[in-house]
Structure 1
Amino acid sequence: MTPHLLTLALDWHRSGRAVAVATVIETWGSAPRRVGSLLVIDGDGNMEGSVSGGCVEGAVILEAIEALQDGKPRLLDYGVSDDDAFAVGLACGGRIRVLVEPVGRAMPLDVLETLCARIAAREPVAYVIDLEGGARRVGELADHPDRFRLDRSGVEDDARTFVAVHNPPLRMIVVGAVHIAQALLPMARACGFDPVLIDPRGVFGSADRFPGETIIEDWPDAALTALAPDSRTAVVTLTHDPKLDDPAIMQVLGSDAFYLGCLGSTRTHAKRVARLTEAGFTAAQIDRIHAPVGLDLGGRAPAEIAVSVMAQVIATLRRAT
């Protein structure tokens, strides 16, 4: 797995390399990279990441090398011309504002270490910067709930506080290696999720049917216990078999997963509700289940159902709570 760019910056620093981190602070117009994008640069000009898709990387690297020499941050403002924007696949140009921070000086080492530890533990965390006063600190989800929900780094209304949001990676756990899953897993990945497929039936969850996918051939409840769904996890059950779906659903209802969708008709779900009620689950817990799964788009083909599921997952993730 590719390390988080802040983790890479810390590793480079610990290995003795002079390192700076460049962060997109603000954008206007059709900027090539979103706010919060990172570029890590060492004293020899080696880099990982991107702040502009190539438009201004060279200028940022030069500023970063100078910042490593004097230890001072740089707040840079660049215009991206229409010609440069077209070269990286955009229809028109824009402007970006980039902050460059030498690690261990402008960017405090203890703050970076805390950020990296929280990221490694899959905990939501923010890097909060006073752009005028220079203070840096670690921020919490409770302080910026909307930014975490929307994955939206940015400058606060006071025009001086920048909040860089670092959410855990999104995951989608799919129970049931059926035809809908064959369409859903690639869609999930395209939308920024790390998909995992669970099915104890090896003939269903084969590498031939799901090339390149992470497949767990285990009973769903055991697999979900090991995967430990968190607030950045969506779970979809597709087997249509209570012996497989019900244990998975029961496991997820006790977790912080932000989404649980289950395949089946209204009648099938009514029977499911009765079984869950008999097992001791409350109405509030059962109401977390999206069933029949997906938005009602009128689709019937497997790929159309997968689209409706993906749309509902995204809507659930992004809407206000």
Structure 2
Amino acid sequence: MRLDLLKSLNAERAARRAAILVTALDGSEQRLVPEAEAAADPLAGELLPRFRSGKSGVIEAGERSWFLTVQVPPPRLVIIGAVHISQALAPMAALVDLDVAIIDPRTAFATPERFPDVPLVALWPDEALAGLPPLDAYTALAALTHDPKIDDPALVAALRAGCFYVGALGSRKTHARRVERLMQAGLSEAQIGRIRAPIGLDLGAVSPAEIAVSVLAEVIAALRRSGP
């Protein structure tokens, strides 16, 4: 790999931006394609799905063979609320290689005993998010406290950051009130419309563990089907 391409690739990695190194197998060409520029690339039809799958590999295009070295940031799941659903969701998310963090200012809930081996931030979301890596297009956020004082600031931050998934616990009636609050906070209808509420795929889930399964399934679908 050329030194200039390596430096550019490392810069994209450090900034949690996805990129694909495109290498002609005949050795005639090599270029780095950042995700923001992929749609204009001659191989866009091959590159764009790779940002969703995260898989490198050989392709055939234009009567030539290419190797695509795909670099995507590790996907993250930020959970708002150290609740029963979170106790099931956090370990399941880790099993599918999501980096997990839990935010909840209620120290009676956010304890290492309830969440072993999970990063806990016992602060209000505004303060907690300021101390974590910035929310981005490879971050999912699930708001689970059912408390507007805790959930709403996190939802605002996630929607403004363009997180690939934003979900919130609550009934349709609860969400209607949430929509009114978020509009008053300055979010557009299009932004608010990205919230998955009620959260999770409609599996008929009842228990906290079943709801956690439905949430994780929805997160994976958002990551792999539609992409960040």
Secondary structure in 1 aligned to 2:166? strand
Distance, in Å, in 2 between the alignment partners of 1:121 and 1:282 is 27
Residue 279 (structure 1) aligned with residue 185 (structure 2): yes
Tell me if structure 2 keeps the 8 A contact 1:225–1:251. no
Answer with 249-258 or 283-292: which moved more. Answer: 249-258
1:214 is aligned to: 119
Residue 251 (structure 1) aligned with residue 157 (structure 2): yes
Secondary structure in 2 aligned to 1:200? coil
1:186 aligned residue (85, 91, 106):
91
Tell me if structure 2 keeps the 8 A contact 1:295–1:312. yes
1:260 is aligned to: 166
Secondary structure in 1 aligned to 2:77? strand
Residue 237 (structure 1) aligned with residue 140 (structure 2): no
Q: Point out the structure with max Rg over C-alpha.
A: 1
1:112 is aligned to: 6
Identity rate of aligned residues, in percent? 49
1:278: Cα distance to partner? Answer: 2.6
Secondary structure in 2 aligned to 1:157? strand
Question: Which structure: greater helix fraction?
Answer: 2
Distance, in Å, in 2 between the alignment partners of 1:243 and 1:162 is 49
Distance, in Å, in 1 between the alignment partners of 2:104 and 2:206 is 23
Q: Would you say how many aligned residue pairs link Structure 1 and Structure 2?
A: 215
1:155 is aligned to: 58
Tell me the amino acid that sits aligned with residue 95 of structure 2: A
Distance, in Å, in 2 between the alignment partners of 1:315 and 1:270 is 24
Distance, in Å, in 2 between the alignment partners of 1:274 and 1:121 is 34
Q: Deviations over 1:76-103 (max 9, x none)?
A: xxxxxxxxxxxxxxxxxxxxxxxxxxxx
Distance, in Å, in 2 between the alignment partners of 1:108 and 1:248 is 41
Distance, in Å, in 2 between the alignment partners of 1:320 and 1:271 is 28
Residue 128 (structure 1) aligned with residue 22 (structure 2): yes
Tell me if structure 1 keeps the 8 A contact 2:17–2:34. no
1:145: Cα distance to partner? Answer: 2.0
Residue 140 (structure 1) aligned with residue 40 (structure 2): no
Q: Deviations over 1:153-212 (max 9, x none)?
A: 222332511111100111000000001001101111111110011011111110010011
1:283: Cα distance to partner? Answer: 1.3
Answer with 262-271 or 171-180: which moved more. Answer: 262-271
1:86 is aligned to: none
1:307: Cα distance to partner? Answer: 0.4
Q: Which runs of 5+ in 1 are unaligned?
A: 1-106
Q: RMSD across aligned C-alpha pairs, in angstroms?
A: 1.6
2:128 aligned residue (202, 223, 230):
223
Secondary structure in 1 aligned to 2:70? strand
Distance, in Å, in 1 between the alignment partners of 2:226 and 2:79 is 25
C-alpha spacing 1:320/1:199, structure 2 compared with 1 (3 Å): closer
TM-score by length of 2: 0.88
Tell me if structure 2 keeps the 8 A contact 1:111–1:138. yes
Q: Post-superposition, which runs of at least 4 consecutive aligned residues in structure 1 deviate over 3 A?
A: none
Tell me if structure 2 keeps the 8 A contact 1:224–1:252. no
- Greater RCO (Cα-Cα under 8 Å, separation 6 or more): 2
Secondary structure in 2 aligned to 1:297? coil
TM-score by length of 1: 0.64
